[in-house]
Amino acid sequence: MAIRTEEQLSAFIQETVRSTPVTDIHTHLFAESFGDLLLWGIDELLTYHYLIAEMFRFRPDLPYETFWSMTKQQQADLIWQTLFIENSPYSEACRGVVTVLSRLGLDLSTRDLNEYRKYFEQFSSSEYIDRILSLSGVRSVAMTNDPFDAYERARWEEGAGQNDSRFLTALRIDPLLNGWDQAYLTLQQQGYQVAQDFSGDTIQEVRRFLQDWIGRIDPLYMAVSLPDDFAYPEASVRGRVIDECILPVAREAGIPFALMIGVKRQVNPSLKYAGDSLGRSDIGAVERIVSRNQDVKFLITMLSRENQHELAVTARKNRNLLVFGCWWFLNNPSLIEEMTRMRLELLGGSVIPQHSDCRILDQLIYKWDHSREIIAKVLCDKYGDLFRAGWRLEEEEIQRDIAGLLGGAFWNFLGKPDPAAV
């Protein structure tokens, strides 16, 4: 059906963005079969590392060690008191918690954390997964599956990950690229004949390790997060692992290599896992890896705002590069809007505007609610420009485009049908 007025256009875009199911291409969530690797509930939400870092800013008197020696519930109490009671929770990470509580139907006027805790006790994790996926309109999520994590490996050996098609797999291989001096020992323990100095059969054995895990978990892609000083090509262990192991295996398996570039690890070790920061990276490294390996697909996101424009331009020049998401410190409304606007202007619909990066199941609600609102706002402007120029749109065309942005472009890039699409 054709859209006749600009008001009708805006309303249709907003409703379509709200109701179109999402494929969330990168999260740290787990299916129920992984047991306690799946995090959910109010105490997990409040002790998310974004909030820990924010709390410390308001409590210069609090020794780091005092916080780290508390139980999770005590930490959550302190964060609630500091960020939600003694201050107003309008930072994006705090606002996210408010959105979640609100959409779960909890009474925000009480601000009673113990009341909220009781609400979560009524659900099994299986019920809660259904509830959150339904509320957030997320059809499927890609997990982050780490074969270097002994605990997760044990879950795979027990048969986890087999029976819930809403949870997709992704093979995460950070230690191979960022910590070879430990990673080779893990590979040896798993029966691979690798040497620290890369001699002998090391290259073949690292490839065999990757192939075995691809065979075991059938990942959508292989993924790594990289420091802000990532270089390519490079005469280093990382450079060799990429060129001689990962790229050949990605090529052969026909799956993308996902790079998340720009993390500066542990700028404040006292903050522990909340202590990482970011740095601007060299787009030249991205240009070289994608253009020299055109028969490999790359999913790339970068952490620094300053890299976003050049990343989008690099994607224009290399169709084997799909840009995705507003990652971590970029996941703020002002930056999501700026990036989404620019990406749609430079790349049309050949982009994945957002992924959630959720570590806690409940966060799917706010990450997607907030992003959907911004994506709809930008699309209203873009389609509005077309409309005012005399371009008449059919509802089906808008539905097609939005389905692409919220998942279709990803599946097209993979060259696979979305298994969750009916």
* Residues that bind Zn ion in the complex, under the rule CB under 5 A: 357
Residue 54 or 357: the one with the smaller Cβ distance to Zn ion is 357
**Vertex 40 angle, CA 39 and 46, to 5°:** 100
Q: How far apart are CA 35 and CA 160, in angstroms?
A: 9
How far lies 35's CA from each of 38, 124, 163, in Å? 6, 12, 13
Pinpoint the alpha helices (H) of 255-390.
Answer: 283-291, 308-317, 333-347, 363-388
Q: How far apart are CA 328 and CA 357, in angstroms?
A: 8
Minimum distance of Zn ion from residue 28's CB (angstroms): 6
Neighbours of 398 (CB within 10 A): 18
Residue 67 or 328: the one with the smaller Cβ distance to Zn ion is 328
Residue 368 or 383: the one with the smaller Cβ distance to Zn ion is 368
Minimum distance of Zn ion from residue 273's CB (angstroms): 12
Task: Indicate the DSSP class of residue 111.
Answer: -
321 torsion bin: left (phi>0), alpha (psi -120 to 50), beta (else):
beta
Minimum distance of Zn ion from residue 263's CB (angstroms): 10
Minimum distance of Zn ion from residue 110's CB (angstroms): 33
Q: Which residue's Cβ has the minimum distance to Zn ion?
A: 357
Length of the chain equals 422
Q: Which class for 235: exposed (0-12), middle (13-18), buried (19 or more C-beta within 10 A)?
A: exposed
Coil, strand or helix: which one is 20?
coil
Q: How far apart are CA 390 and CA 6, in angstroms?
A: 11
Residue 293 or 363: the one with the smaller Cβ distance to Zn ion is 363
Residue 141 or 286: the one with the smaller Cβ distance to Zn ion is 141
Residue 27 or 186: the one with the smaller Cβ distance to Zn ion is 27
Minimum distance of Zn ion from residue 26's CB (angstroms): 6
Residue 146 or 357: the one with the smaller Cβ distance to Zn ion is 357
Strand 171-172 versus strand 222-227 pairing type: parallel
Give, for 222, the enclosing helix (H) or strand (E). strand 222-227
**Vertex 70 angle, CA 65 and 72, to 5°:** 130
Minimum distance of Zn ion from residue 395's CB (angstroms): 35
For residues 73 and 43, the answer to whether their CB atoms sit within 8 Å is: yes
Q: How far apart are CA 175 and CA 186, in angstroms?
A: 9
Number of helices (H), then strands (E), in the chain: 20, 9
Minimum distance of Zn ion from residue 356's CB (angstroms): 9
Closest CA to 132 of 165, 103, 164, 106: 103
Strand 277-278 versus strand 257-264 pairing type: antiparallel
Residue 258 or 311: the one with the smaller Cβ distance to Zn ion is 258
Residue 208 or 355: the one with the smaller Cβ distance to Zn ion is 355
Residue 357 or 418: the one with the smaller Cβ distance to Zn ion is 357
